[in-house]
Structure 1
Amino acid sequence: MSETEKQELAKALEEDLLKLHGSPILTLKQLHRVLNFRSVDALKQAILRDVFPVHTFEMPHRRGKFALVKDVAKFLAEQAFEEEKNDD
């Protein structure tokens, strides 16, 4: 997969996630489903242990952590590329 194909995949994933969730920001509940974590608590543990692969952030006057759809889409596209690279 070329860099262009990876960028196109990330863009398509981003568009799909935006349509599905209706926001450029994902909550932990949405993230746990998108990235297939067993539970929100498992996701929180990954963040606390600093092993969660996507940048998360807090927002003023809001509880919890959030992630940008764009960052999640980019991560998923990179993982697809890595899987293909490992198959060679």
Structure 2
Amino acid sequence: MAEELLECLSERYGAVLSSRALIKELGYPSAASFQQALARGAVPVPIFKIEHRRGSFALARDVAIWLSQKRTIAIGNR
């Protein structure tokens, strides 16, 4: 499952997701809620900055793995 998600995310965004993509793919309802999660250290994937670029970034692989894990947990709880 993670590999399929990685392929989809990579086709859509490339290897690195921007803040805008992270808001959408991690399911945050708004940019403000994502910023609040960042400030609290509560974003569920490793986040990094890129010199001379605005915003925060994460690897598509990390997002795909996290989404896959969440799905596996949801299926197991049925």
Q: Same-fold call, TM > 0.5?
A: yes
> Counterpart in 1 of 2:76?
85
> Counterpart in 2 of 1:18?
10
Separation of aligned partners in 1, 2:38 and 2:73:
22
Instruction: Report the number of matched residues.
Output: 78
Q: Which amino acid aligns with 1:53?
A: P
Using the TM superposition, give the Cα deviation of residue 44 of structure 1 relative to its aligned residue in structure 2, in angstroms: 1.1
Query: C-alpha deviations, 1:33-87, integer Å up to 9, x for none?
Result: 1122111121111111111111100111112110000000000000011112222
Q: Which amino acid aligns with 1:57?
A: F
Aligned identity (percent) is 33
> Counterpart in 1 of 2:32?
41
Separation of aligned partners in 2, 1:42 and 1:49:
11
- What TM-score do the two structures reach when normalised by structure 2? 0.92
- What TM-score do the two structures reach when normalised by structure 1? 0.82
Q: Which amino acid aligns with 1:86?
A: N
Alignment of 1:47-86 (within 5 A): 47-86=38-77
Separation of aligned partners in 2, 1:24 and 1:30:
12
Separation of aligned partners in 2, 1:56 and 1:85:
28
Secondary structure (helix, strand or coil) at the match of 2:58 reads: strand
Separation of aligned partners in 1, 2:41 and 2:52:
23
Moved over 3 A (4+): none
